[in-house]
Amino acid sequence: MSSSPNFNGFRLLPLLLALGLGVSAQAQSLVDLYSAARGYDASFQSAKAQYDATLYKADQARALWLPKVGLGASAARSNYESGSNASAAVDRTFGTQTATLSASQALYRPADDASYQQSLKANEQASAALKAAEQDLIVRLSQAYFDVLASSDSLTFVKAQKSAVQEQLASAKRNFEVGTATITDTREAQARFDLVIAQEIAAANDLRVKNLALAQLVGQPSAQPKPLVEPVALNAFAVSDVDAWVSRSQTEHPVVQQLQVALDVAKLETRKSQAGHLPTLDLVASYQASTNNGSATYPKDYGSNASSLGVSFNLPLFAGYSIQNRVKETVALEEKARADLETALRGVAQGTRTAFYGVESVQGQVKAFEAAEVSSQSALDANKLGYQVGVRINIDVLNSQSQLFDTKAKLAKARYDVLVGGLRLRQANGTLQEADLQPVNALLAK
């Protein structure tokens, strides 16, 4: 692949200038910045906290099937007076202290059993939601990472083009002074130079904005991505067989998994509502100890102990049709959950196909831009030679320069799009994981 002599060695310069840094070993890889983003990104931290909360909530449902034990205590003081005259009057004060230990154990509670099964399903939903948040973070971080590199490359190419146009402007001025060129060549070169200055200002600002976006994601104001190693090899990121990608999406996508669990939960909710017609059975036990400091009729202290063990049975007979209507409600909600799942399956399949063909398209663009880069370089060389011998005019050289650097920028952007597109494809079918960053990380400069 041919390249302009003005391009070699410029790739890192704009980024270093934008950050105000010299050449250092502070550049970070994609994996390094992903680790930083996991600990800093607020959206991911929110999803992680929600995951933890769901696990704790699910554990609460276990209490439905564990014994329940309670301790109660009471104390009272009473004053008793009787009699119609002073000699026969009785004035007595006495107290009563009571302590009760009670316990119960559910034996048959179908509604509680359904609630416990729902709590286990909630764990699965939380896991799928966290998986989706991780995939989203990977894609957002990768996009921000390569946006910085693409913007850096754009600024590099604009600077290189400015240098080439400046050289062409100087040549046009010299040729005009010696009478071998017209003033038109000088003005055309000056106009192109002024345009490139404006493009350089815009490119520098775009790089600044992209750096801010990356810094906000990873929490490091001086985050500096490593560039791709030269020459770039993207063969490992080829994709094939769209049906295989779609097939995996139907079972592995986090949204599909969440909605599948939601359908299971809806079925359990129907079962729980139907349990409103069923009896419940509990094992109950109690032990009570009391101490009395006399009574109204007995002046001496005495105490008593009582214990009991038995079962408690309850059977709903009529609840004003609330149970029947609750069953109808949950059946309808179950049907809704089933429809939501089907909608998600279709949407995920469509999204996977779209992402697949997008990666295929951008891979084709990379090959086309690589060929165009070679052709543009050859055209520029030919126009420069033609300008020197008088068969080409200055605007031909300027246009060839502009086309070459524009092609270089689009080629670099297309390469980044292949890498991010591959990650987006894996996100689209739900298989994206942190390990998928390693092949991309291997393409970065050491």
CATH of the domain at 367: 1.20.1600.10
The pLDDT, as a whole number, for residue 181 is 73
Q: What are phi and psi of 216, to 5 degrees?
A: -65, -30
Mean pLDDT confidence for 149-160: 94
Task: Find out whether 236 and 363 touch, Cβ atoms under 8 Å.
Answer: no
Amino acid letter for position 54: T
DSSP 3-state of 219: coil
Lowest mean pLDDT across 24-33, 125-134, 266-275: 24-33
- Give the C-alpha separation, 283 to 285, whole Å: 7
Which whole-number Å values give the CA distances from 235 to 239, 321, 371, 443, 445, in the listed order? 10, 66, 16, 11, 17
Q: How many domains does the chain have?
A: 1
173 within a domain of the structure (yes/no):
yes
Q: What whole-number distance in Å separates Cα of residue 253 and Cα of residue 298?
A: 77
pLDDT of residue 24: 40
Mean pLDDT of 258-275: 94
The answer to whether residue 358 sits within a structural domain is yes
| 24 vs 298 pLDDT, higher one | 298
Span 73-82, average pLDDT: 82
pLDDT reading at 225 higher than 90: yes
Which domain range does residue 179 map to? 13-67+109-278+319-441
pLDDT (0 to 100) of residue 345: 96
Average pLDDT rounded to a whole number, residues 255-261: 95
CB 397 within 8 A of CB 435: no
In a domain, 220, yes or no: yes
Is 193 among the domain residues?
A: yes
In a domain, 311, yes or no: no
| Lowest-pLDDT choice from 101-105, 145-149, 236-240 | 236-240
Mean pLDDT, range 424-432, rounded to an integer: 95
Residue 415 inside a domain? The answer is yes
Cα separation, 376 vs 370, whole angstroms: 10
Nearest to 267 by CA among 59, 118, 60: 118
Say whether pLDDT at 401 is over 80: yes
Note the pLDDT of residue 446. 82
The pLDDT score that the predictor gives to residue 17 is 39
| Residue 261 in domain | yes
| Selected residue with higher pLDDT from 175 and 229 | 229
Does 32 map to a domain?
Answer: yes
Residue 110 has pLDDT above 70, yes or no: yes
